[in-house]
């Protein structure tokens, strides 16, 4: 726990986007079982990425870090350590990706889950894995697996989490024989599945996509072994970049974020279109996006495919004139905090006009905000959203736990919120 008080923070003019942890998770999982070592260039190794590295190392994968470089020495599928303790920390991606992977490898693993992770759902992934030969049981924060899944025809309801689909795609790629995976229900966060397909493609093991993106033919390791690209630079993260980009829209000067791929499959790239809809001026030049301060107006947002953007979108709504309505966000109640309740509590504390319902938020913007002591609920996206909102407030805003940003963006306060005086003098 570390409290932090913000008052008229001197935020950055230019930021390099943190490495996408979504892309890094996938690259690490593929590299761990490839045919040769892989060097990953990652400019931000956050807590969630450290969790995946820690768990892969527990399985026998060699991972070394030097500055912004991770070297992954793969482990043979038949040589993974048995009964390893995999400490997932609070990383849902780590758990949901590696649970099916360990099931495919027959690793009989023990998963340690911390924070709210034991309360976050695993159904229907749990039932699918058990139906195909895995035995699972819970002992407090531990999740214990026994057995192995086999190549077969798989089906899963994809309306809870795209992470289940990613975990199965990774796992079925490690089985010797071909498998199929069919998605039922409304697909949540579909762009993240595309990121998984792209990651497997980088390792020469992309599944065939059929049925309008709802069915996959996975060739299996015998026909399509994971082949290392030897060196890989995962793309910049639009989820993390959304915070400095929002600062550009609501603050006193433009903000440029470099290291973003305008052709990215990341769903949270939608932040660019949403900023334009709010009324912000946005320019894209190669890998750099610049957002200029602009009068904003409220909009309606369906957040079904972009849940991670909701906290910062609520701040934009508070800064905008008129009403902003966010729907399709019920799943946010199952994140590191109940993010709907957390954003309601935060904006209400600082004088915002916000109401919450089962599916989302309604913000009547344009109301002057005041200072106060804000509870972040230990949630990185709440803390960063509160920091963004502090530029709208002349009075002090105190965050109850600022250190929680390490989960996804450990350099956020140093590189985004508090720029060095020398950097400021060069810009002004």
Please say if 423 is a catalytic residue: no
Q: Which residues pair with 146 in a beta bridge?
A: 135
Q: Residue 414, exposed/middle/buried by CB under 10 A (0-12, 13-18, 19+)?
A: exposed
The residues near 299 (Cβ < 8 Å, ≥ 6 apart) are: 274, 277, 278, 317, 320, 324
**Active-site hit among 308, 338, 379, 401:** 308
Nearest-angstrom CA–CA distance, 202 and 288: 24
The residues near 384 (Cβ < 8 Å, ≥ 6 apart) are: 243, 311, 312, 405, 409, 412
* Residues making up the chain, counted from first to last: 428
Long-range contacts of 378-381 (CB under 8 A, 24+ apart): 378/115, 378/336, 378/337, 378/404, 379/335, 379/336, 379/337, 379/339, 379/342, 379/404, 380/336, 380/404, 380/405, 380/406, 380/407, 380/408, 380/409, 381/308, 381/311, 381/312, 381/335, 381/336, 381/339, 381/408
Phi, psi angles (nearest 5°) of residue 133? 115, -5
Q: Residue 261, exposed/middle/buried by CB under 10 A (0-12, 13-18, 19+)?
A: middle
Active-site residue list:
308
């Amino acid at each position: 726990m570390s409290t932090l008080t913000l008052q008229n923070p001197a935020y950055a003019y230019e930021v390099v986007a943190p490495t996408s942890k979504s892309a890094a998770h996938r690259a690490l999982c593929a590299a761990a079982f490839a045919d040769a070592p892989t060097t990953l260039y990652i400019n931000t190794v956050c807590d969630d990425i450290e969790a995946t590295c820690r768990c892969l190392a527990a399985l026998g994968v060699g991972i070394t870090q030097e500055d912004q470089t991770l070297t992954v020495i793969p482990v043979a599928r038949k040589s993974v350590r048995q009964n390893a303790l995999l400490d997932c920390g609070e990383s849902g991606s780590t758990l949901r990706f590696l649970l099916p992977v360990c099931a495919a490898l027959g690793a009989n693993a023990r998963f340690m889950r911390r924070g709210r992770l034991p309360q976050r759902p695993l159904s229907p992934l749990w039932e699918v894995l058990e139906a195909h030969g895995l035995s699972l049981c819970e002992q407090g924060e531990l999740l214990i697996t026994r057995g192995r899944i086999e190549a077969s025809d798989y089906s899963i309801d994809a309306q809870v989490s795209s992470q289940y689909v990613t975990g199965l795609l990774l796992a079925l790629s490690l089985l010797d024989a071909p498998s199929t995976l069919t998605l039922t229900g409304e697909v949540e966060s579909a762009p993240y599945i595309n990121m998984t397909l792209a990651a497997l493609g980088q390792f020469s093991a992309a599944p065939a996509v059929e049925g309008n993106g709802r069915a996959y033919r996975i060739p299996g390791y015998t026909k399509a072994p994971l082949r290392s690209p030897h060196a890989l630079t995962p793309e910049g993260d639009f989820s993390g970049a959304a915070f400095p980009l929002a600062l550009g829209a609501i603050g006193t000067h433009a903000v440029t974020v470099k290291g973003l791929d305008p052709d990215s499959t990341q769903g949270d790239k939608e932040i660019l279109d949403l900023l334009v809809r709010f009324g912000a001026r946005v320019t894209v030049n190669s890998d750099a996006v610049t957002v200029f301060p602009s009068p904003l107006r409220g909009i309606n947002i369906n957040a079904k495919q972009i849940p991670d953007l909701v906290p910062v979108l609520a701040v934009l709504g508070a800064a905008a004139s008129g009403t902003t309505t966010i729907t399709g966000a019920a799943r946010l109640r199952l994140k590191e905090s109940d993010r709907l309740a957390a954003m309601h509590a935060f904006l209400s504390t600082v004088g915002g006009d916000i109401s919450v319902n089962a599916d989302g938020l309604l913000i009547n913007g344009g109301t002057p905000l005041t200072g106060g002591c804000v509870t972040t609920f230990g949630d990185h996206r709440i803390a960063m959203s509160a920091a963004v909102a502090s530029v709208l407030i002349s009075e002090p805003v105190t965050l109850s736990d600022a250190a929680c940003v390490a989960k996804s963006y450990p350099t956020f306060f140093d590189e985004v919120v508090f720029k060095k005086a020398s950097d400021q003098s060069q810009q002004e």
